[in-house]
């Protein structure tokens, strides 16, 4: 299949967004110091707590964002600046109160980010009332960071999508039939759990950065801005790929992506 040169350029830009750089590298670049010092300051049981906080935050975000995801205005440019400003405010609060505020701050930030992700999806021609689009919006939180068992050959964009494919499909079918607000949804809960396992790695990096001495409230706002910038980029790349897949087919786009 022959690709339009403009579409090849857009796919190349999407790949650059999806594969480089990771959140930790972005934070280190912006604050001018490695975030490892922050990891040393996290509580002893931080790993277990982060997992629970992340799963709860995503679950609340998915249900809280229902009203926004039900709207539709395809191709309209996304309101990225508005969402960045809103998340920066929650980051400032989190930076001031430290790790203890994460359980309160993260569900709010995740909800704002999910709304922003849906906004990006809509700008790429997605119908956000569609169950598959809603599931793809949740999927974005798993992108741009390695999972706990990943090695360098398994952590790429299409590998993550392949790992989540069956769960995304089941969740999309459930959402299409019963909506996001339905209680006791095992297909949706399974997708959220799988995504949370990857998202928690990046939440840990965010939390560690906010604990670095002298970062404080102002630094918390900056870190949250980097956080949402990262996922806006993941969304832009993801939904660009999906748009091109609708035009050329999944196999053709994957093959072109891997060869760029």
User: From CA 30, how far away is CA 107, in angstroms rounded?
Assistant: 24
Average per-residue pLDDT for the chain: 83
Interval 80-100: pLDDT, tens? 887 777 777 665 555 545 566
More confident residue, 217 or 132: 132
Q: What are phi and psi of 219, to 5 degrees?
A: -65, -35
Phi-psi region of 145 (alpha: psi -120 to 50; beta: other; left: phi over 0): beta
User: From CA 117, how far away is CA 233, in angstroms rounded?
Assistant: 9
Percent of the chain at pLDDT exceeding 90: 42
21 prior amide bond cis, ω within 30: yes
Structure confidence at residue 66 (pLDDT): 60
Phi-psi region of 71 (alpha: psi -120 to 50; beta: other; left: phi over 0): beta
Question: What tokens were used for 182?
Answer: 């339905």
User: From CA 212, how far away is CA 34, in angstroms rounded?
Assistant: 9
Task: Please compute the mean of the pLDDT values over residues 229-241 and round it to a whole number.
Answer: 96
* Ranges of H-type helices in the chain: 5-19, 23-31, 36-41, 46-64, 66-69, 80-97, 102-123, 131-139, 157-178, 186-210, 216-248, 250-259
Structure confidence at residue 153 (pLDDT): 37
pLDDT at residue 154 is higher than 50: no
Question: What tokens were used for 241?
Answer: 């790929």
pLDDT band at 260 (very low <50, low <70, confident <90, very high): very high
Structure confidence at residue 198 (pLDDT): 93
pLDDT at residue 148 is higher than 70: no
Interval 169-215: pLDDT, tens? 999 998 888 877 665 588 999 999 999 999 999 988 888 887 776 66
DSSP assignment letter at 184: S
DSSP assignment letter at 3: P
pTM: 0.88
Structure confidence at residue 88 (pLDDT): 72
pLDDT band at 230 (very low <50, low <70, confident <90, very high): very high
More confident residue, 23 or 165: 165
Interval 25-46: pLDDT, tens? 888 887 777 788 788 778 777 7
User: From CA 135, how far away is CA 193, in angstroms rounded?
Assistant: 13
User: From CA 71, how far away is CA 78, in angstroms rounded?
Assistant: 13
């Amino acid at each position: 299949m022959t690709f339009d040169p403009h579409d090849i350029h857009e796919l190349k830009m999407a790949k650059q967004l999806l594969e480089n750089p990771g959140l930790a590298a972005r934070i280190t670049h912006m604050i001018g110091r490695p975030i490892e010092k922050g990891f040393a300051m996290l509580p002893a049981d931080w790993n277990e707590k982060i997992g629970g906080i992340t799963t709860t935050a995503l679950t609340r975000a998915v249900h809280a964002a229902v009203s926004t995801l039900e709207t539709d205005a395809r191709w309209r440019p996304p309101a990225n600046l508005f969402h960045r400003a809103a998340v920066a405010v929650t980051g400032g609060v989190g930076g001031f109160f430290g790790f203890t505020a994460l359980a309160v701050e993260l569900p709010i930030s995740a909800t704002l980010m999910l709304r922003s992700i849906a906004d990006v999806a809509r700008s790429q021609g997605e119908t956000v009332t569609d169950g598959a689009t809603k599931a793809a919006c949740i999927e974005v939180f798993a992108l741009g960071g390695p999972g706990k068992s990943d090695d360098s050959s398994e952590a790429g964009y299409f590998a993550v999508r392949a790992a989540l494919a069956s769960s995304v499909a089941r969740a999309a079918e459930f959402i299409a039939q019963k909506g996001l607000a339905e209680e006791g949804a095992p297909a949706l809960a399974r997708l959220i759990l799988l995504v949370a396992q990857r998202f928690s790695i990046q939440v840990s990096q965010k939390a560690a950065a906010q604990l670095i001495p002298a970062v404080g409230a102002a630094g918390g706002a900056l870190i949250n801005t980097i956080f949402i910038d990262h996922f806006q980029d993941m969304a832009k790349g993801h939904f660009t790929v999906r748009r091109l897949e609708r035009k050329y087919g999944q196999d053709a786009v994957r093959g072109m992506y891997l060869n760029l």
